[in-house]
C-alpha cells in the first residue's frame, strides 16, 4: 500500500467550503467522505492511506487520516480541462482551527516541503509519520478503526463473550468521547481524565445496533457526579442545549452539584439532540 499527502490551503478554498462539511459529517458518523484531487492519481489503489494537512498560513499540521475508497474519476472543469478526483474516507479528523493530529512543529521535515496535493510519500517518511502520530495520539483515536474491526469479530454466543464485547466497545466509546470533547467535561470544563465518565445518552442496553452504542454523539463526557445525576435521570439537556435539573433533587443536592439550570452545552450535533430527546422522554425525572 502507498500513502499520499493531501493539502488544504485556506487561501485557495475556504474553511466553510472544504473543511466544515467534513467535520459535520465526522461528528455525526465518525467518518467523512469526499473526492479529492490527486496529482499522482494513476498510482492510487483502493485502501491506500491518506494524510490531510493544512498548508498556507500558520498554524499548520495534519488534521485528517483516511483511506482511498474508490477508483479515480475524471471530470471536466469549467474551462474544459480534465481533472481526476479520488474518493477518500477519513476515519480520523480534528478541527484545524483548534487542533492538529500532528502540528507542523512535530512533523518530519519531508512532510512539510510537499507542495503538490496527492503525491505519494516515501516509505521512510510514512514510518516517521506513524511514529509521531502514535506519540501524540493522546486518546488513541488512530487505533479506533483497528479496534472496531476487532470488535466486529468478537462472537457473542456466550455470556462471557458478550461481556468481552461490551468491555471492548465501552473502551472505544470512552476514547471517542475524550477525543470529541477534547478531554473536558462538556458541562463544567473539568479536564482531569480520572474524574471523567463516558456517559451514554441512550443507554447501552437500549441501543439497537453497535453503531448506536459506539457513536460519539450518543454520549456526553461528564464529571463523575454529573454522570451519576444524568444516569439517574436527575439531569438532562433540553432542545436548546441547556442543562435542566430534576425537581426531585433536594436543595442540598442542588448546592453540592455546583451547577445551575442555565448552563449551556456547546458543540452538540443533530444526532446528539435526537438521543437527548430520548433521554428526556425515557429517563428524566420531571
Provide DSSP, 91-116. EEE--TTT--SEEGGGS-HHHHS--S
Could you say which of 137, 153, 188 is where a domain stops? Answer: 137
Q: How many domains is the chain partitioned into structurally?
A: 2
Mean pLDDT of the chain: 83
Phi, psi (deg, nearest 5) at residue 210: -65, -35
- Would you state the pLDDT for residue 137? 59
Residues with Cβ within 8 Å of 223's Cβ and at least 6 positions away in sequence, in order, are 185, 187, 188, 190, 195, 196, 197
- The helix, strand and coil proportions of the chain, stated in percent and rounded to the nearest 5, come to 40, 25, 35
To the question of pTM greater than 0.85 for the whole model, the response is no
Say if residue 114 is in the same domain as residue 209.
no
Say if residue 155 is in the same domain as residue 267.
yes
**Distance of alpha carbon 269 from alpha carbon 282, whole angstroms:** 20
At 55-103, the pLDDT tens digits run: 989 999 999 988 888 888 888 777 777 788 999 988 788 899 988 888 8
Say if residue 125 is in the same domain as residue 163.
no
**Distance of alpha carbon 55 from alpha carbon 115, whole angstroms:** 9
Torsion angle defined by CA atoms of residues 266, 268, 272 and 277, in that order, rounded to the nearest 10 degrees: 50
Q: Is 127 helix (H, G, I), strand (E, B) or coil?
A: helix
Q: Is 278 helix (H, G, I), strand (E, B) or coil?
A: helix
At 9-62, the pLDDT tens digits run: 988 999 999 999 999 888 777 778 889 989 888 888 887 889 999 998 999 999
- Would you state the pLDDT for residue 277? 97
CA atoms within 13 A on the CB side of 125: 18
Q: How confident is the model at residue 148 (pLDDT cuts 50, 70, 90)?
A: very low
What sign for the dihedral angle of Cα 215, 221, 224, 225? negative
Say if residue 130 is in the same domain as residue 147.
no
Q: How confident is the model at residue 115 (pLDDT cuts 50, 70, 90)?
A: low
Domain region containing 238? 143-282
Say if residue 127 is in the same domain as residue 150.
no
Percentage with pLDDT > 70 across the chain: 84
Could you say which of 91, 112, 137 is where a domain stops? Answer: 137
Amino acid at each position: 500500500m502507498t500513502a499520499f499527502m493531501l493539502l488544504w490551503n485556506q487561501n485557495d478554498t475556504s474553511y466553510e467550503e472544504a473543511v466544515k462539511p467534513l467535520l459535520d459529517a465526522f461528528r455525526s458518523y465518525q467518518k467523512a467522505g469526499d473526492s479529492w484531487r490527486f496529482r499522482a492519481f494513476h498510482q492510487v489503489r483502493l485502501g491506500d492511506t491518506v494524510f490531510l494537512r493544512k498548508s498556507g498560513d500558520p498554524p499548520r499540521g495534519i488534521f485528517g487520516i483516511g483511506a482511498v475508497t474508490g477508483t479515480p474519476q475524471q471530470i471536466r472543469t469549467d474551462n474544459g480541462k480534465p481533472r481526476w478526483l479520488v474518493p477518500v474516507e477519513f476515519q480520523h479528523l480534528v478541527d484545524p482551527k483548534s487542533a492538529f493530529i500532528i502540528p507542523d512543529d512535530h512533523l518530519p521535515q519531508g512532510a512539510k516541503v510537499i507542495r503538490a496535493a496527492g503525491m505519494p510519500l516515501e516509505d521512510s517518511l510514512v514510518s516517521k509519520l506513524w511514529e509521531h502520530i502514535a506519540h501524540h495520539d493522546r486518546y488513541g483515536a488512530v487505533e479506533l478503526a483497528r479496534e472496531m474491526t476487532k470488535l466486529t469479530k468478537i462472537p457473542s454466543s456466550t455470556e462471557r463473550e458478550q461481556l468481552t464485547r461490551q468491555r471492548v466497545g465501552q473502551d472505544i466509546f470512552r476514547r471517542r468521547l475524550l477525543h470529541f470533547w477534547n478531554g473536558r467535561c462538556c458541562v463544567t470544563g473539568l479536564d482531569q481524565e480520572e474524574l471523567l465518565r463516558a456517559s451514554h445518552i441512550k443507554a447501552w442496553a437500549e441501543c439497537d445496533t453497535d453503531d448506536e452504542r459506539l457513536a460519539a454523539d450518543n454520549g456526553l463526557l461528564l464529571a463523575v457526579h454529573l454522570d451519576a445525576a444524568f444516569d439517574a435521570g436527575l439531569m438532562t439537556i433540553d432542545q436548546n442545549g441547556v442543562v435542566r435539573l430534576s425537581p426531585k433533587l433536594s436543595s442540598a443536592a442542588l448546592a453540592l452539584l455546583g451547577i445551575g439550570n442555565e448552563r449551556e452545552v456547546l458543540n452538540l450535533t443533530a444526532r446528539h439532540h435526537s438521543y437527548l430527546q430520548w433521554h428526556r422522554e425515557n429517563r428524566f425525572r420531571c
